[in-house]
Amino acid sequence: MVDFRLNEEQEALRASVRDFAREQVAPVIGKHYESESFPYDLVRQMGKMGLFGLPFAEEHGGMGGDYFTLCIALEELARVDSSLAVTLEAAVSLGATPIYRFGTAEQKEQWLPRLTSGEGLAAFGLTEPGSGTDAAAIRTRAVLDESTNEWVINGSKAFITNSGTDMTLLVTVMAATGTNPDGSKELSTIIVPAGTPGFTVAPAYSKVGWCASDTHELSFDDVRVPAGNLLGPRGRGLAQFLRILDEGRIAIAALAVGLAQGCVDESVRYANERQAFGRSIGNYQAVQFMIADMDMRAHTARLGYYDAAARMLAGEDFKRYAAIAKLNASNAAMENSRYATQVHGGYGFMNESAVGRFYRDAKILEVGEGTSEVQRMLIARGLGL
């Protein structure tokens, strides 16, 4: 019989992150959201808790856990705030994991201790102004200058999380490094440290949601880095990033479940407090049914990412299940944020309310790390269509 209950260690992690989110994050995150400021103090506290090292081996400064433990932490953070949750997700799943999985011993030794401790953040440089889902359309180029044994990079990236903070250490950049025998672009991944001459970070975007997270457009103008900054074999960049995105979809599903569950939490609390016509609105069946549906969506979406994570950790083919988890969870987050706003009425439309932030944060979950349409394509392909 399949048992989806967490073990004692996992429950302890969940409780620790839940307490942190409720006691440290909830009282202050609204101000960061409204001022669009990055919550450095909270991020550093997360580093001290070991959250940035959850899925990494202890030899690299990690906590010796696995990817599922990261997902547990993401869900609990997102029950209160998605900006902090996506900061952790991008730093670990998209930032440090490529180096952990594909880096040389020297690259791991140079970067991972600071990334797994939360001392520094890494960013994932895939999306460009003219290419997102179609990664093969990337226009950023890197040419190897054999006279200096350096890569010379030119191009730009868009919507890159954790790319412009005072803690940002590097960006892993996917660039065209040549042409394959079939005429397609040879795509490779190159580590570009923050502060490298010619590497420019544009002002932060003004976003609809995730307003306390860090997101920028990046430009590379004859940026030179050592040839040894190539991450993994030359020409394997696309395969590397697709693997990272497959895993990342499970993490985003966990984040989406957290948001969906946060909508349930806030709606139950408010429905029991808010009085209308002489009794709490939680006594009215119309409100009860909305909250019941919200709880159903959060629960079933949680089972989806649990299953996908279990398959990944078992070494099975998990691509289709990750797509199912991400699609279902992002749908749940969108629907629950809409329902929660309805339960809260006018208060739900205020930015100062948690559900107002949830409503603004939910939409990007249907876009980031593969749109809902891409997830359906992946599911169909996995079925042999």
The residues that are catalytic are 369
How many other C-beta atoms can be found within 10 angstroms of the C-beta atom of residue 88?
28
At 252, the amino acid letter reads I
Tokens found for residue 64: 């010796």
Residue 203 carries which DSSP code?
Answer: P
Phi and psi at residue 175, to the nearest 5°: -145, 155
- Taking every pair of Cα atoms in the chain, the longest distance, rounded to a whole number of angstroms, is 82
Q: Which of 111, 125, 51, 36 is nearest to 85 (CA)?
A: 51
Q: Nearest-CA neighbor of 140 among 219, 40, 52?
A: 219
Q: Which two tokens stand for residue 112?
A: 């991972």
Query: Residue 114: in which H helix or E strand, if any?
Result: helix 105-116
DSSP 8-state code for residue 21: I
For residue 275, what are the CA distances in angstroms to 79, 172, 271? 25, 53, 8
Q: Which helix (H) or strand (E) holds 150?
A: strand 150-161
Residue type, 341: T
Neighbouring C-alpha atoms within 13 Å toward the C-beta of 138? 30
Distances 382 to 175, 323, 370, 385 between C-alpha atoms, Å: 28, 10, 16, 7
Half-sphere exposure of 311 (CA within 13 A, CB side): 19
Round to whole Å and give the CA distance between 215 and 203: 9
